[in-house]
């Protein structure tokens, strides 16, 4: 297949390579590769690239920006319908302001970046008004990188109980975005910490619902798999380099 960036063939090849790497990492850790869900992060990628990825078998797609997603997701789904293809499950993984919840609730299946009660309450209110349940994950700051977002580990037990009690939300797991590092091994402690927090909360209110761990990106997902990730969020390794920012948030 061609390695020319932007072609469907190149995207299919990159997607296959990522799947192979996930499977190899899982086997090396004594895990079943089927335990790990690949989420393709399509931030700033055009609709045609997302359609091509779904056509190649990608079943979970993430977006970071509410406004971009509001415009792009309907276009992607329309193109998929034209080809007789089912839409992916949509994950929102970016930092989210309460006033953008109105853009997110109607089009996403899961919000992974819930890090405060006020945001969860707004998501619950809007989901309840639409008569459906929204899956959420609690984002945790596991490496002291405030700019990445996330609740403090010390406050997680309280936040979990509060969010789990809200109507129209289903808490399904924890997510983290550790501080960037050139060496993937440098982020291993952050991934191990998220897994430990999940295990520590097993008997807490809402803890039994924490089945999922979303952690690991293009540069470090193999380490995340070794530390127990159930979802890895991979962007450039699938889609190639991102286009320049357009100011959409």
Reported as a single tens digit per residue, the pLDDT across 114-144 is: 999 999 999 999 999 999 999 999 999 998 8
The predicted structure's pLDDT at residue 148: 78
- Helix then strand then coil, % of the chain, to nearest 5: 45, 15, 35
Choose among 141, 155, 149: nearest CA to 193: 141
pLDDT in tens, 94-109: 999 999 999 999 999 9
Name which residue leads in pLDDT, 51 or 143: 51
Mean pLDDT of 14-42: 98
The predicted structure's pLDDT at residue 246: 57
DSSP alpha helices (H): ranges in the chain? Answer: 8-28, 47-55, 66-82, 101-104, 117-130, 156-164, 188-200, 221-226, 236-239
Max avg pLDDT among 88-97, 179-188, 238-247:
88-97
Backbone angles phi, psi at 246, to 5 degrees: -115, 0
What is the pairing mode between strands 89-92 and 231-234? unpaired
97 Cβ contact partners less than 8 Å away, ≥ 6 residues apart: none
Q: How confident is the model at residue 113 (pLDDT cuts 50, 70, 90)?
A: very high
Report how far Cα 90 is from the mean position of its chain's Cα atoms. Answer: 9
Judged against a pLDDT cut of 60, whether residue 4 lies above it is answered with no
Choose among 161, 109, 171: nearest CA to 139: 171
Number of other CB atoms surrounding residue 170 within 10 Å: 14
71 Cβ contact partners less than 8 Å away, ≥ 6 residues apart: 248
What's the CATH number of domain 8-239, 3.90.209.20, 1.10.580.10, 3.30.499.10, 3.20.20.10? 3.20.20.10
**End-to-end alpha-carbon separation of the chain, Å?**
35
Report how far apart, in Å, the C-alpha atoms of 231 and of each of 72, 82, 140, 144, 221 are. Answer: 23, 29, 15, 22, 9
Whole-number Å distance between alpha carbons of 51 and 235: 14
Structural domain spans, the chain: 8-239
Q: Are 39 and 234 in contact (CB under 8 A)?
A: yes
Share of the chain above pLDDT 70, in %: 95
Choose among 141, 96, 147, 150: nearest CA to 123: 96
Q: Are 111 and 97 in contact (CB under 8 A)?
A: no
Judged against a pLDDT cut of 60, whether residue 248 lies above it is answered with no
Mean pLDDT of 214-235: 97
Whole-number Å distance between alpha carbons of 120 and 138: 9
Angle between helices 47-55 and 66-82 (to 10 degrees): 50
Quote the pTM value.
0.93
Share of the chain above pLDDT 90, in %: 89
């Amino acid at each position: 297949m061609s390695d020319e960036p932007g072609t469907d063939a190149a995207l299919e090849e990159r997607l296959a390579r990522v799947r192979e790497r996930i499977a190899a990492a899982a086997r090396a850790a004594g895990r079943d590769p089927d335990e790990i869900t690949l989420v393709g992060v399509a931030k700033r990628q055009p609709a045609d690239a997302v359609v091509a990825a779904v056509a190649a078998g990608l079943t979970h797609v993430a977006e970071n920006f509410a406004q971009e997603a509001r415009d792009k997701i309907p276009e992607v789904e329309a193109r998929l319908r034209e080809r007789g293809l089912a839409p992916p499950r949509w994950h929102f993984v970016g930092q989210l302001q309460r006033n953008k919840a109105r853009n997110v609730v109607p089009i996403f299946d899961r919000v992974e970046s819930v890090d405060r009660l006020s945001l969860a309450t707004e998501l619950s209110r809007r989901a309840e008004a639409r008569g459906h349940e929204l899956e959420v994950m609690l984002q945790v700051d596991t490496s002291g990188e405030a700019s990445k977002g996330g609740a403090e580990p010390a406050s997680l037990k309280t936040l979990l109980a509060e969010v789990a009690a809200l109507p129209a939300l289903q808490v399904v797991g924890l997510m983290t975005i550790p501080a960037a590092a050139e060496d993937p091994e440098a982020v291993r402690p952050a991934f191990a910490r998220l897994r430990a927090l999940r295990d520590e909360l097993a008997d807490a209110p809402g803890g039994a619902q924490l089945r999922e761990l979303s952690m690991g990106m293009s540069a470090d997902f193999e380490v995340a798999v070794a530390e127990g990730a159930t979802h890895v969020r991979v962007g450039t390794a699938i889609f190639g380099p991102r286009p320049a920012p357009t100011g959409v948030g």
